Structure 1
Amino acid sequence: MTLAVQHLVGGYSQIPVLKDISFQVEPGELVGLIGLNGAGKSTTINHIIGLLTPMKGSIALNGVTLAQDPQSYKSQIAYIPETPILYEELTLKEHLEMTMLAYGLDQEQAWQRAHDLLKTFRLANKLDWFPANFSKGMKQKVMIVCAFITNAKLFIIDEPFLGLDPLAVHDLLALIATVKAQGAAVLMSTHVLDTAEKACDKFVLLHAGEVQTQGTFAEIKANYPDAGESLNDIYLSLTGVTRDE
């Protein structure tokens, strides 16, 4: 499943936030969409998942756009938002059942995956809990489990590290590695650049709604040899941001 974003211009009003954004995410690849707050990461994601309509440009999954085939397009995507979105009147078990129905999953296979994921994220004994009983980190884990029980070909993960404890971050990265090995594409937005540098195969560096550069870390470092040794240093150098700002 190849995600192709071509010359995307868009935003929330008549003034575009995104200015001619282009990049691809290939099967078996984790691409880090990185940048500081306000760089345009979440706006880009909102266009990809269909919450916003591009002013110009196109977004396609294996050549198919949302307008051409909404059901096929959306069924290929699993999305984990930055802020967990759960239904207060549904238990964890009911959230999982709703996800299985929405994606048309085989119940037996989906529950097998669900039980494995619930054990991994230490939620196995909380199937009858309601969202009011969960901490923010636990709510985020519920979103992760719901996303990864699907057969999605493209996983979109928005700022996953902020509410997770170190063990959960490790488990999430291991889970991403597993779906990558199965051929899924993963787009992950984050401004936690130290973790992104270690985990991602490629990067798209956004600043002020524009792509500053993209490629593997080795490629970016080779293109900007004087910018620094770490992804964080390179990003700050390219965007003209100092550590005192």
Structure 2
Amino acid sequence: MNQGEPIIRIENLHKNYDDKEVLKGIDLEIYPGEVIGYIGPNGAGKSTTVKILTGLISDFEGRITVNGVELKENVLAVKSIIGYVPENAELYDVLTPLEYLDFVGKLYGMEASHIAERATRLLTAFGLGDSLNKRMDTFSKGMKQKVLLTAGIIHNPKILVLDEPLSGLDANAVIVVKELISLLAKEGKTIFYCSHMMDIVEKVSDRILLINKGAIVANGTFEQLKTQHGDSLEHIFAKLTGHSETSGSASNIMSALE
């Protein structure tokens, strides 16, 4: 898989918030068609990495090249080939899914007729065919998440950044999204997948990156990480982030109830 030039190259990436160093020199190469599982504890720097990569944060140190384009030199060109499904996104609830996706598609320069046709097909495939023209303020969290997923792929991006994309989805929808990730990767799309759901990360990822305290502390396939650190992804995560004591937390909570 790792043939040719990487589609994403991150070199010596640093980011500070006032006196706090959030990213401490990230170096990373990601290749076309790879599914990258990006994991780490809260506050480790996952969201900051994602926001920099998607052009939402511009004041960083280091160099990022996406599809041969330097991010700092042409952020719009980079944004045009990335689809982003954020963990916590606000939809325009007064709009219908078709109205919202028309707005999103036009931001990417798509023709209105093309947007309508593709949005209808995508939403129907996600099981929202009966809700195309309903206002989204009546939607469940899962229905809204399906609209966000549709917005992330409607322009057929080369790179898809997913931040907890399964939030609120039912079991059937989770299966669909997992299959979709696999099919997109087979078409050469690059998937950058952030999640706390270790079992899903383990199953969908070609390579797993573990970030802790602003630095990458593990980078490899699940089998490679098991060989190096042993056991399940949860235990690898706990070991490398210094939270091995977590295993006793549940029993401690139960003891407190006695």
TM-score normalised over the length of structure 2: 0.87
Does structure 1 retain, via aligned residues, the 8 Å contact 2:102–2:115? no
What is the alpha-carbon distance in structure 1 between the residues aligned to residue 110 and residue 188 of structure 2?
19
- Listed one character per residue, the Cα deviations across residues 136-169 of structure 1 (whole Å, up to 9, x for unaligned) are 1111110001112212111001012232221111
Q: Which moved more, 1:10-19 or 1:209-218?
A: 10-19
Cα contact 1:34–1:41 (8 A) shared by 2: yes
| CA offset digits 1:50-79 (Å, max 9, x no partner) | 222353212210231222122211101110
Instruction: Give matches, 1:16-95, under 5 Å.
Output: 16-95=21-100
Residue 231 of structure 1 aligns with an amino acid whose one-letter code is L
Matches of 1:115 and 1:55, distance apart in 2:
39
- Which runs of 5 or more structure 1 residues have no equivalent in the other structure? none
Would you say the 8 A contact 2:83–2:159 is kept in 1? yes
Report 1 or 2 for greater relative contact order, CA contacts < 8 Å, sequence distance ≥ 6: 1
The alpha carbon displacement at 1:185 in A equals 0.6
| 1:237 aligned residue | 239
User: Secondary structure in 1 aligned to 2:194?
Assistant: strand
The structural deviation recorded for 1:130 is 1.9
SS at match of 1:198: helix
Measure how far apart 1:82 and its partner are. 0.3
Q: Considering only CA atoms, is the larger Rg found in Structure 1 or Structure 2?
A: 2
2:98–2:116 CA contact under 8 A, matched in 1:
no
Judging changes above 3 Å, is the alpha-carbon distance between structure 1 residues 89 and 11 closer, same or farther for their aligned structure 2 residues?
A: farther
> Which residues of 2 match residues 208-219 of structure 1 at below 5 A?
208-219=213-224
Which stretch of the first structure deviates more once superposed, 196-205 or 115-124?
115-124
SS in 2 for 1:212: strand
Deviations 1:182-217 (CA, angstroms, capped at 9, x unpaired): 111110111111111011100110112211110111
Moved over 6 A (4+): none
Q: Distance in 2 between matches of 1:106 and 1:181?
A: 27
- Name the SS of the counterpart of 2:160 in structure 1: strand
Query: The residue matched to 2:184 in structure 1 has which SS?
Result: helix
Counterpart-to-counterpart distance in 1, 2:19 and 2:67: 29
Q: Is the 8 A contact 2:65 2:71 kept in 1?
A: yes
CA distance in 1, matches of 2:100, 2:9: 31
Give the conservation status (yes or no) of the 8 Å contact 2:12–2:27: yes
Q: 1:1-245 maps to which residues of 2 (within 5 A)?
A: 2-224=7-229, 228-241=230-243, 242=245, 243-244=247-248
**Conserved 8 A contact 1:28-1:183:** yes
**Structure 2 unaligned residues grouped into runs of 5+:** 1-5, 250-258
Partners of 2:23 and 2:59 in 1: how far apart? 9
- Identity over aligned residues, as a percent? 37
**Contact 1:23 1:204 survives alignment (8 Å):** no
| 8 Å contact kept, 2:15–2:61 | yes
Between stretches 25-34 and 35-44, larger displacement belongs to 35-44
The structural deviation recorded for 1:106 is 4.7
CA gap of 1:156–1:45, structure 2 versus 1, over 3 A, is same
